[in-house]
Structure 1
Amino acid sequence: MNRRPRRDLPPRRRLVIVVRADPVICGHSGEARNLAEAALLRGFTEVRIVTWPLDRLAETGLPLKPLDGVSPYSVGIEVERPAPVGDYKVPDGRYLAGLVGRLVELFTDGVPTVAMSLYLSPHTVAVHDAVGVARATGLPVDVTTIAEAVGSDVTNVVRSCVAEGRFGAAAHVLTAYLSSDVPVAVSAYTRDLVIASAEAVDAAHGTRFAAQCRDRVAISYPAINTADYLTQDLDHFSATLERRGLHRNGYVLFLSRLAHAKGVDELIAGFAASERCRGLTLVLAGNGPEAEHLHRVAAASPAADRIRFLDDVDDDEKPDLMAGCAAFVLPSKPRPEFVETFGIALVEKMLAGGGPVITTDTGGIGEAVGDHALIVPVEDPVAIAAALDEALSLPEHEREAMELRARDHALQFDRQRVFDRLLARLAPEPTPVGAAF
């Protein structure tokens, strides 16, 4: 009996990403999706995004997209939402226990795994604890860890611990971060912020976190699917604008979380004061903790009848809304609880085309936009009005040239390039300290 020769299957290789994933409105949930998709193209046989149950996300008050507006993942990417462990007698940590427990199972099943965490607290802490437990079982463990620090890790956790004298909590996060095989930060600004916070811990307690951060932390800019923004389906574009009652160049767009640090108050005031915006609509797309307050601010504005809120923008609509706007404004400002450490939405906008970007030089925004945006001071509605007037008065050829230069700059953040550079970090060849990739 003739038998077909057996073809060996490719060796299994897994990527696990621990993150606040969709439907959370956050640039890093999108980044996780992009890293997952890039991993499939680079031969990973299995990708798992390990995240939080939907009911828990809703309870936290995090801004969420409509579930039916979340784009599906490719075949080969599985989203896991481990259930909590324990009942009411466990006051807190039930969901974290579920997350850590599932990671232990993944790390001990014999499949070589790269585990990447976005946000140090609690995700990198969860991976750190899971690796320790997995190795303590005595089972074979083949795990390489990547930890990505974003700005709110430092402003919301480490820096607040330093300010409150809570050494143990700061040490917990920094130790988990530095225990990772590859610790990275989403921008040079974020890396500097991590080091400065570590220096403050060292000065107060005699530790040596800062030196380790300087030696080991590299920069890995967020991964963006540039193809989503470069290829425009004109029929889809027209349908999106028609459905929203908009027309090309007829509106100014803000698309991000509705939070105090995003500067929406100043944008509303600047839009109302702009002479060139008299016949335009201001579209505020997003949701967040300041939504109710901003509705009141908009209702009291002289331009109230020309301000619209969209809290249900889905993944497919976003590139169209960006491409069709007369200008895109994100006047972010530094706050104790949040600093814009990169500006993913700004890069997405530059890829999509449309009118000029207006923003501030806050945190890592300069690294995101380069020289391809109109920069205004923070908390300055007068400057926003002037920038809008300038952007809307640009001759068509200047606007198109600015658009092309901005797109060329933004292409460096393509997800495949970012992922390949991350994988290169897993190789033994050293990367210069603080180098961006």
Structure 2
Amino acid sequence: MTRVLVVDDSQFMRTVVGNALTEAGYDVETATNGSEAIETAAAYDPDVVTMDVEMPELGGIDAVERIMVTNPTLILMLSVHTEQGTEATLDALERGAVDFLHKPDGSDGRTLAHLSSEVVDKVDELANANVSSIALARASASAYATRSHRADRDVATGRAVAGADPRGGLEVGGGSTTSRPTGPDEQRSFRPGAGASSESEPDDDPGPVELEGEYAADPTIVLGASTGGPKIVERLFERLPADLEAKVLVVQHMPEDFTERFAERLDRLSEYDVREAANGELVRSGEAAIAPGDAHLEVVNNVGGRLRVRLDDGERLHGVRPAIDVTMQSAAENAVDPLCGLVLTGMGRDGAAGIEAVKTAGGHTIAQDEATSPVFGIPCQAIQTGCVDDIAPATELVETIVDAFDTDGETDE
């Protein structure tokens, strides 16, 4: 039977979420704070953890980091819908959590019954997903801890770099990964501490990729991701070279309010000017636009190296809005500059039709590989279309994008 650890300092919330999961057929254990969660995760070895963000003694963010280093597990964050809760949730995703849900606060008509149903649906998805890169998240958490500790040490010794962000960006681990079966009757070979080796946890940030040779002018990149995507998207933006002078459109499945904060984080990490997309705006070379939560992002035209985009609050596609397919298909139809479509980790099939459209339009297509995808649904569906040019690990996504626009001295003349 699939095991779920429910972590919340509220006995009422533990009971509500725990009862919903028990009635859905899961074996449920509970913990009251982050410290207890770490101990219980090691002893109980859950398949999925639901983690509250704000708790006494040790909060959910630090608990995520510790669990991902010592006992890598799929972690679903439950947070309050506030500005502070949004930032905390993004921190948790950066440290290894794969997804999140909002606790109802009365602002949008959601109730505890809605939350219970959403938790069960999300745990169903995670428990049945082909999850093969928990070690990747472990490496991310380890790199985060290493970098944070180094920053603390430098501050203590008076060697802090002026203007440096002590949290920095995460190095996404590569190297060997260990597949963790998720079926209820399968032998579970992934044990605490297994997976990524020290070699897959780099100590230093390599920085943006350096360009060599000649590259297509004013290229466009359309990037789509869902579950497990934020930390990988952040790492990609850290390394995307400004010299490529690309226009970047990002569709990350997130609710309203999160995408603006996510854009701000990417802007801090990247050499690109990153912002949440606005209706009718122009996206120029060296700029990136993030699809807002609850709105599709469409490309209207592409003139003089600039994209004009619009927002559409039409029907959901594949149950989501924004949808990757909408952005990719509109880019394939209306972008005349060199085009690259990229799909990353996530559940479902959003992006598969978009990849087909980009390929049909003559663009280059890339999918994240299974070994480094926390959830391999979206990339797998895209690959199965037969329209993916390159399959790349998280650590080589930027190099693969750059290669897609390498003209090797060729021109249209």
TM-score by length of 2: 0.33
Identify, as 1 or 2, the structure richer in strand: 2
Q: Which has the larger radius of gyration?
A: 1
Identify, as 1 or 2, the structure richer in helix: 1
TM-score by length of 1: 0.32
